Structure 1
Amino acid sequence: MHVKKRAKIFIVCTMILLLALIGRLAQIQLIQTESFSKHHINLIEASVKQRTQAIVLDDGRGRFIDRNGDAITNDYYPSLVLFPFLKGMDWPSDKIAAIIGVPERELIRAVEQAKTPFAFGGKYPLKLTELQKDQINALKIPGVFAVYKQVPADERLAEHLIGIVRQNYQLLKERYPEKLKNSLISPDTAIGITGLQRAFDEFLLPEGESKLLYHVDQLGGPLFGLDVKYTAPANPFYPTAIKTTLDKSLQTMVEKELDKIGLKKGGVVLLDVETSDILTLASRPKMNDKNPLAEPGGINTMILPQIPGSIFKIVTAAAAIESNLKVNSRIYDCNLNLYGEKGSERELGLLNFEESFAKSCNYTFAKLAEELMAENPDYMEQYAAKLGLIGRIGWHGDVFHFGNFKQFPEEQTGRIWGDQKDKYVKKAINQTAIGQKEVRLSPLAVANMMATIARGGEKKQVRAVSEVQYKNGTTLFSFPLQNLEGEQLSSHTIDKLQHLLREVVQSGTGVRFNTLPYTVAGKSGTAETGREGFVNKWFAAYFPVEYPKYALVVVDLDVRENEAKTYEIVEKIILNIYQSVNG
């Protein structure tokens, strides 16, 4: 009896174990073949990978190019792809070497060392011409292909503006639930987390990889002869290219100068005056490769509000001129401090309005602000808005089914007041008039203000991207130039501001730039940050004055004033631009 009972228990346990194994097998092979375990592993793909060798030609995600079509992220050009099974064959390596102009021994050595298919030339494969590509393919050599391949950019440019891409299943599920549900994208698809990668993510999503592959046996030899297959997404128009407004050569120059000079925190914005398109945007500190989202390197300081200091005097000056305060007939005692008391750190003597602006006299603009606020408590916001300083500055509008699409999703808007009650407090008015207290403006907005003044007062949205292109270079969507809403300054006020900004360089705080090959108009700013001895050091400019083409802002943030690199950077950038234009 005991033997029979034990036998029954053994049989039942065996059946349970077999049923569990069958259930597990069904789960693996029938039920969760494309999304197995919490890691969402595609078992079909994993199985194929085990018995194939492949070289990915294009991961399928769209790329970024500059205004001239030059690659910013991934380049895409004809490359020579070689398969490792060539080492066991007699193939015309001499003919290939002659076509591409390299010693034959280099080709043979590369193949002998290869365990997987590779693009000849390493991380940055040798770039072939169209003629070389056609000549190689005409030979029809098994395992030798001349094909377009995605190649990483040789340097990382505009990293804060372009943004980063990462795998994040939770975020992927939130953004694209239907695509995941219908298996249009895989659970391990990388998505844009910041910057333009985030803004244009739906345009950039891969529809699948393009690759060359062949099946191998246990020893890595060809399983089905020498048949190499090409696989690619069915849609020939993808992946897309995002055509930015950046000028790669200028971006490269600016970033090299920042690194050479050693700017620790701050950056540069360079705009095209005619369009308010970004030519260059560089933020420091750089991103941390291991943790790019970690502060401070993970922050794009150029689109975040900063304390502007005397840059804001442009707003006060514009309001005084347009409000007919008869500034031209008055003299101000610039030996007095901001509050009209003796003991100013910078005793400048008796100055008129133009001289006060050029030499950045705090007392003059604090006094003007008191008078303006007595007449209109909202003047500061109104005139900041007329100059395009507050509100969303970056391009925004409707794009297909995207309502209110934003090219700068992380952009934060500027502000003038922290507490509306301060509008009636004299000292708060004095401080606000010179860009202190609660005034915060982004370098991007300040650059756009300079472009607005330079082109005569027309306010425009700032573009970082001009169009989205299909793979063949035709246009999927074009982003039109768009004006910022709201009132503009009168032409008389703009003319006067242009004159004032030129005087800053001719006889005021920017006189250092008066000897540059381009004529420059601009305004300096030194803002107290709240840390004793530390300031934000600004210079905002446009040039050449006779036919304005560039609007430039450089800011060194939270730095000791005597260590600020601002003026040196401005000088280097303008000189380099002049030399590149004039040889």
Structure 2
Amino acid sequence: MIHKRFIIIGTIFLICLSVLLGRLSQIQLFETKSFTDRNINLIEESVKQRSQEMVIDNGRGKFYDRNMVPLTYEAVPSLILFPFLKKMEWDVEKVASIIGVRENEILQALEAAEEPIVFGKPEPIVLTETQMKAINQLKIPGVFAVKKQYDRKIPPAAQLIGLVGQNEKQISLRYPEKNIPKNTNIGISGLQKSFDEFLLQEENTKLIYHVDGHGGPLFGIDVKYTDPSNPFYPVNVQTTIDGEIQKKAEEIAERHKLKKGGLILVDIDTNSIIASVSRPEMNESNPYGNDGAKNYMLTAQIPGSVFKTVIAAAAIDAQLVPQNRTFDCSRTIHGEIDQQFQHGMIDFTKSFAVSCNNTFATLAKELNEIDKNMIETYAKKLGLTEEVGWQGDVYHFDDFKQLADEEKGQIFLSDAERKDSKLVAQTGIGQQNVRITPLQAANMMATIARGGEKKMVRAVSSIRYKNGTTLYQFPEKKLKGDTLAPYTISKLQQLLREVVVDEEGTGRYLKNLPYEVAGKSGTAQTYRYNENGQEYVNKWFVGYFPFDQPKYALAVVYLDALSTDGSVTPIFQDMVTYLSHLNGQ
């Protein structure tokens, strides 16, 4: 009986010991970097418990502008001090004299420090290259001059670049076969999301000092600089944004108090985004609040009269607008006397310049009688019904999209709309269910300026390894599908210029700029009202310049504006003036 009890007790003991050994093996050998379903890195956590460290670089790939100037971070030459300095004698006087402060300021900062600090409050003191070299030549343990990287919470072109954050569910969905710690930052929106797999966080670059349980030195006063050994990853992304132009565009939007909407500037030659501003502005403390994280340059909006460009192209090809044809522009699209505009009987060119609704509603109905799909066909020829951002196969990424958040445009939602002449008339003036993005509008202007050649719009030109060599170069790519005939494009160019040079043209206030402008205005009804019964409208101006040698296409839009909020033309004007001066005009 006693022997049997010993066997039972011994068996239980062996089982418990086996479980304990198995648990220890799991912790020490098998799951050291991904312990439990939370993927805890036990090695990192144990190091944290017995070390003090200053992270210099968080290890995620970075974004740069087209001149390789950082967009998402700032490298600040800083003085790093470790807390063990307050327990030892060191040449604080020499360090203080190099950076031009009193000894006592450094000692006071150290007195309150329990972890490594960046010297200077509230902002770190920015060192010169000479000061950094002088400090590091002293070789004082615990005193370092390094370029510490600070992530910009709100970078330039914030909505285009996008946000990063921690999301365990998204990590599991995106990377089910990868062993990625659940606290890893991933791209949530914008280019951060599109390029996330390239940018995934590697090991930190840091200064590290090992301590015992009381915070004392474990291996003397040796501070180590640790840098990931991989010279290639994480990669860096070179965008097509021009940092200086982007900064100016944001200043202009701010000066004109643009509340909702924005502007997008495209280089016509390469069809690349040079600047992109979306409002409301992203808030640092709550980036998702008030739609601040939303990129309105990629969301489809009611375009109003901007869409008349499509109707004009179709009408020219269908030979509906001979020189001697006139339209009654003192009447609305439904035939009543227009209480706002009394242009009388005018021809097609004048109609486009003054943006006569009756002309384009009439032409839309005539086009629809010829072919129920004609309006959509011509919208597609100008890139308004498809995604226009760069996409294609990139290594193992099938159909990779640079602009993952981009929306498509739309014209009709049903056959019933195509059969209703009143709805077709509304469609012809860019109302009803017509929706396009500001990016598509700018791209349409670039297409016309280039002579009809359709291209994808790039926001990124290349992906670069950490050592600076190129991983992938994004080539210029054509958009598939039919294009407009050269004659039609030529007529559109003339029409767009008339909008500015005609004495009654809706863009006449842009006439005397350093660059000659061609473009189209639009004021779209939203059929939504404020508490005072005032209707919200979308105000647009899209165009290109200089007219004879096109270089830039620009779309500016003020969404959900009131009539008292003023025009977007001054914003367009300021951008044109700035760019002309930038180029020495």
Using the size of structure 2 for normalisation, the TM-score is 0.89
Q: Take 1:254 and 1:48, find their aligned partners in 2: how far apart are those partners?
A: 46
Deviation at 1:394, TM superposition (A): 0.2
Residue 46 in structure 1 maps to residue 45 in structure 2: yes
* Residues 483-522 of structure 1 mapped to structure 2, 5 A cutoff: 483-507=478-502, 508-522=505-519
Asked if structure 2 preserves the Cα contact closer than 8 Å seen for 1:125 and 1:151, the reply is no
Q: Which moved more, 1:216-225 or 1:524-533?
A: 216-225
Q: How many residues align?
A: 571
Q: Take 2:210 and 2:388, find their aligned partners in 1: how far apart are those partners?
A: 54
Give the AA of the match of 1:142: P
Q: Which moved more, 1:171-180 or 1:190-199?
A: 171-180
In structure 2, the residue matched to 1:374 is: 369
In structure 2, the residue matched to 1:306 is: 301
* Residues 560-571 of structure 1 mapped to structure 2, 5 A cutoff: 560-571=562-573
1:577 to 571, 579, 583: 579
Give the AA of the match of 1:570: F
Partner of 1:529, secondary structure, is strand
Deviation at 1:25, TM superposition (A): 7.1
Q: Take 2:497 and 2:123, find their aligned partners in 1: how far apart are those partners?
A: 47
Give the AA of the match of 1:170: K
1:353 to 325, 348, 357: 348
2:391 to 371, 391, 396: 396
Asked if structure 2 preserves the Cα contact closer than 8 Å seen for 1:556 and 1:564, the reply is no
Partner of 2:320, secondary structure, is coil
After superposition, the Cα gap between the structure-2 partners of 1:33 and 1:476, relative to the gap in structure 1 and judged at 3 Å, is: closer
Asked if structure 1 preserves the Cα contact closer than 8 Å seen for 2:154 and 2:282, the reply is no
- Structure 2: gaps spanning 5 or more residues: 1-5, 530-534
2:422 to 427, 433, 438: 427
In structure 2, the residue matched to 1:558 is: 560
Deviation at 1:382, TM superposition (A): 1.6
Partner of 1:179, secondary structure, is coil
1:281 to 276, 283, 303: 276
In structure 1, the residue matched to 2:439 is: 444
* Residues 50-199 of structure 1 mapped to structure 2, 5 A cutoff: 50-76=49-75, 78-96=77-95, 107-121=106-120, 125=124, 133-153=132-152, 156-180=155-179, 185-199=180-194
Partner of 1:421, secondary structure, is helix
Asked if structure 2 preserves the Cα contact closer than 8 Å seen for 1:57 and 1:150, the reply is yes
Using the size of structure 1 for normalisation, the TM-score is 0.90
Deviation at 1:148, TM superposition (A): 4.1
The C-alpha deviation readout for 1:108-165, integer Å capped at 9, x for no partner, is: 5544453322334468655556665555444433223344432233853212111111
Partner of 1:329, secondary structure, is coil
Deviation at 1:461, TM superposition (A): 0.5
Q: Take 2:130 and 2:468, find their aligned partners in 1: how far apart are those partners?
A: 20
Deviation at 1:471, TM superposition (A): 1.7
Deviation at 1:537, TM superposition (A): 0.8
In structure 1, the residue matched to 2:524 is: 527
After superposition, the Cα gap between the structure-2 partners of 1:49 and 1:338, relative to the gap in structure 1 and judged at 3 Å, is: same
Deviation at 1:494, TM superposition (A): 1.5
Deviation at 1:32, TM superposition (A): 5.8
Asked if structure 2 preserves the Cα contact closer than 8 Å seen for 1:320 and 1:327, the reply is no
Q: Take 1:33 and 1:215, find their aligned partners in 2: how far apart are those partners?
A: 20
Q: Take 2:74 and 2:338, find their aligned partners in 1: how far apart are those partners?
A: 60
Partner of 1:530, secondary structure, is strand
Deviation at 1:576, TM superposition (A): 3.0
Deviation at 1:370, TM superposition (A): 2.1
Asked if structure 1 preserves the Cα contact closer than 8 Å seen for 2:298 and 2:406, the reply is yes
- Structure 1: gaps spanning 5 or more residues: 1-7
Deviation at 1:15, TM superposition (A): 8.2
Deviation at 1:279, TM superposition (A): 1.0
Q: Take 2:361 and 2:432, find their aligned partners in 1: how far apart are those partners?
A: 13
Asked if structure 2 preserves the Cα contact closer than 8 Å seen for 1:97 and 1:103, the reply is yes
Give the AA of the match of 1:54: E
Partner of 1:438, secondary structure, is coil
Partner of 2:40, secondary structure, is coil
After superposition, the Cα gap between the structure-2 partners of 1:535 and 1:92, relative to the gap in structure 1 and judged at 3 Å, is: same
Asked if structure 2 preserves the Cα contact closer than 8 Å seen for 1:537 and 1:561, the reply is no
Asked if structure 1 preserves the Cα contact closer than 8 Å seen for 2:268 and 2:553, the reply is yes
Q: Take 1:496 and 1:303, find their aligned partners in 2: how far apart are those partners?
A: 28
After superposition, the Cα gap between the structure-2 partners of 1:552 and 1:328, relative to the gap in structure 1 and judged at 3 Å, is: same
Asked if structure 2 preserves the Cα contact closer than 8 Å seen for 1:165 and 1:191, the reply is yes
After superposition, the Cα gap between the structure-2 partners of 1:213 and 1:518, relative to the gap in structure 1 and judged at 3 Å, is: same
Deviation at 1:575, TM superposition (A): 2.9
Q: Percent of aligned positions with the same letter in both sequences?
A: 51
Q: Take 2:404 and 2:160, find their aligned partners in 1: how far apart are those partners?
A: 11
Asked if structure 2 preserves the Cα contact closer than 8 Å seen for 1:306 and 1:441, the reply is yes
Partner of 1:87, secondary structure, is helix
In structure 1, the residue matched to 2:545 is: 543
After superposition, the Cα gap between the structure-2 partners of 1:237 and 1:81, relative to the gap in structure 1 and judged at 3 Å, is: farther
- State the Cα RMSD in Å: 2.9
Partner of 1:328, secondary structure, is coil
